[in-house]
Amino acid sequence: MPEGHTIHRLAGRIQQLFVGQTWRVSSPQGPFTTGAARLTDRTPHRAVAWGKHLIVHLGADIWHVHLGLYGSFGFRGDEAFVTSDALGELRPVGRVKEPTYDDAGWIIPDAPRGAVRARIHVPGGWGDLRGPVKCRVLNPMQYEALVGRLGPDPLRQPTGEIDPQMLLTFRDNLARRRISIAAALMDQAVIAGVGNVYRAEALFVERINPDTPSQQLDADQTNALWITITDQLRTGVQEGSIRTLRPTDPELGLRGSDLHRDRRGGTGRAAEPLRGHWVYRHHDTPCLRCGQTILMRELQGRRLYWCPGCQTR
């Protein structure tokens, strides 16, 4: 499932490519026809993410998308249809080699392929939404109800800062739940945006046993967990993928050199890692920190990975 960093990047792309322009919205697959008719020929004025929810504001109407496990957005357009990445570098988005335009000067999009729930289209390009679990238009009351049910999203903190109020809310949410910390981190009402990978990796980094009741975490543990999750999510937004294991991590010790190999087959700590995670999908292999075997089991239908040797808090 796309985790929070993916949705924040997606919101950033929609913000850059579509916001401020009058757009056309359609539902080639059909189920979103009424919603599309409501949104088309209007101008979106802000695209944001809240946890795993994509929110596009158009006056009093709010377009709400949740990708779920299999949803995705794809963008195509002409050479001017570009976004800048976190470093400010311009990146073309699915470039059409020989674009053609209609009389109004709008690029003529490809015929929809597969089940396109929603297509958004501006003069320079278009985006196709496939397979979401939610794609609907909300009014302000419905929108308030949606975000009112969501816990704090670490990626909504001011850039480079920790928001003390959000941290307090996270701590309160953990204290009120009678569930394990592993279950709590997946509860979007406790913290928004964390999915299976960040859960496993953040608990590992903080050496927290996934079965520890969430209300038993002390303030230091809660603070550290929030900061670690914030760092991991922010890195995910910058890099566009989840990589929580770094060649330079001091906890790797000497084992680090076994894990990294440059493209010519040599080894070196500066080379790209062959694996990007400490425990996620590394069950039945030795923990890189303590050597014990990493375990996996199902928890509420999702796989949980952890090391019994060093996640003991």
Helix axis angle, 219-239 relative to 4-17, nearest 10°? 40
| Residue 283 CB, nearest approach to Zn ion (Å) | 12
Asked about 239 being catalytic, the answer comes back as: no
| Residue 198 CB, nearest approach to Zn ion (Å) | 18
CB of 6 or CB of 212, closer to Zn ion: 212
Question: Whose CB is nearest to Zn ion?
Answer: 287
Closest CA to 38 of 104, 111, 118: 118
The length of the chain, given as a count of residues: 313
CB of 182 or CB of 310, closer to Zn ion: 310
Residues near Zn ion (CB under 5 A)? 287, 289-290, 307, 309-310
Q: Choose, from 24, 42, 302, 313, the residue flagged as catalytic.
A: 302
d(CA 164, CA 219): 13
Beta strand spans in the chain (E): 24-26, 46-50, 53-58, 61-66, 72-77, 82-84, 90-92, 116-122, 125-130, 134-138, 295-299, 302-306
CB of 271 or CB of 295, closer to Zn ion: 295
Q: Choose, from 52, 76, 117, 130, the residue flagged as catalytic.
A: 52
Asked about 3 being catalytic, the answer comes back as: yes
d(CA 165, CA 157): 10
CB of 213 or CB of 309, closer to Zn ion: 309
Residue 98, both tokens = 């020989």
Which residues pair with residue 136 across a beta bridge? 64
Asked about 302 being catalytic, the answer comes back as: yes
| Residue 302 CB, nearest approach to Zn ion (Å) | 21
Asked about 109 being catalytic, the answer comes back as: no
| Residue 304 CB, nearest approach to Zn ion (Å) | 15
- Name the residues annotated as catalytic: 2-3, 52, 302
